[in-house]
A = this chain, B = another copy of it.
Amino acid sequence: MAYELYYWPGIQGRGEFVRLALEYAGADYRDVAREGPAGMKALLTGLEAGGRPSFAPPYLKDGDTVVGQTAAILFYLGPRLGLVPEGEADRLWIHQVQLTIADLVVEAHDTHHPVAVGLYYDQQKPEALRRSAEFRDNRIPRFLGWLEQILTRNPGRSGWLVGEALTYADLSAFQVVEGLRYAFPKAAARALKATPHLADLARRVGEDRRLRPYLESDRRIPFNEDGIFRRYRELDG
Interface residues of A (CB under 8 A from B): 50-55, 65, 67-69, 71-72, 75-76, 89, 92-93, 95-96, 99-100, 103, 106, 110, 114-116, 118-119, 124, 127, 130-131, 134, 138, 143, 146, 149-150, 153-155
Contacts and interface: CB of A to CB of B under 8 A. Distances in A.
Contact of A93 (B52, B134, B138): B52
A127 B130 CA distance: 10
A55 to B, nearest CB: 5
Nearest to A118: B138
13 contacts: A51-B153, A51-B154, A52-B93, A53-B153, A55-B100, A68-B100, A69-B100, A103-B106, A106-B106, A115-B130, A115-B131, A116-B130, A127-B130
Contacts of A55: 100, 103, 143, 146
Nearest to A155: B51
A127 B114 CA distance: 8
A115 B92 contact: no
A139 to B, nearest CB: 8
B103 A149 contact: no
B99 A71 contact: yes
B52 A75 contact: no
Given A89-B65, A149-B53, A115 B127 contact: yes
A102 B10 CA distance: 26
A164 to B, nearest CB: 14
Given A53-B146, A68-B96, A115-B131, 18 more contacts: A51-B154, A53-B149, A55-B143, A55-B146, A65-B89, A69-B96, A69-B99, A69-B100, A71-B99, A72-B99, A76-B92, A106-B106, A110-B110, A110-B114, A114-B131, A116-B130, A116-B138, A118-B134
A52 B94 CA distance: 10
Question: Which of A99, A150, A155 lies at the interface centre, i.e. has the most chain B CB atoms within 10 A of its CB?
Answer: A99
A21 to B, nearest CB: 16
* Interface-central residue, A92, A93, A154, by most chain B CB under 10 Å: A92
Which A-B residue pairs are the 9 nearest by beta carbons? A116-B134, A69-B99, A51-B153, A55-B100, A115-B130, A127-B127, A69-B96, A72-B96, A115-B131
